[in-house]
Amino acid sequence: MPRKSKCPCRHPNCPALIEVGQLYCPEHLPLHPEVQRPSAESRGYGYKWRKVSKAYLRKHPLCVKCLQEGHFVTATVVDHIVPHRGKPELMWNENNYQALCKPCHDRKTLTKDISPEYTY
Ligand SMILES: [Zn+2]
Ligand SMILES: [Zn+2]
């Protein structure tokens, strides 16, 4: 009977056999973070957020803070007006978003970080 085929771990000189489709044995996998899916994905945050924020920036291409001062600056960051702290109703609520350019976002984050509860 043909057994389910295995392939060797790709780590140099590692004799371990692993399931086809995997690259490293469990022992060596942590040494190769590049083959592991981004952890943001496993938190269920990264992929969806990238999609949502991209769509939002398409609709709101200009930094709202700069716009208030009469400057037209391309926004690159979607910021949560009220920090979501993991709450989905804030996280995924478009009314809680604002489009910011990087400098404006960094300035906001900087002031926010002074508040001890903003740990995200
Ligand atoms: Zn190995
Ligand atoms: Zn700005």
pLDDT per position as a tens digit, 38-86: 555 455 667 889 999 999 999 999 999 999 999 999 999 999 999 888 8
The token pair that represents 116 in the structure block:
């001890």
Closest ligand to C-alpha of residue 16 is 1
- Provide the whole-model pTM: 0.56
Burial of residue 91 (CB within 10 Å: 0-12, 13-18, 19+) is: middle
Higher per-residue pLDDT: 116 or 110: 110
CA of 33 to the centre of ligand 1 (A): 14
Closest ligand to C-alpha of residue 26 is 1
Contacts of residue 97, Cβ cutoff 8 Å, sequence gap at least 6: 53, 56, 60, 78, 79, 80, 81
What is the model's pLDDT at position 20? 86
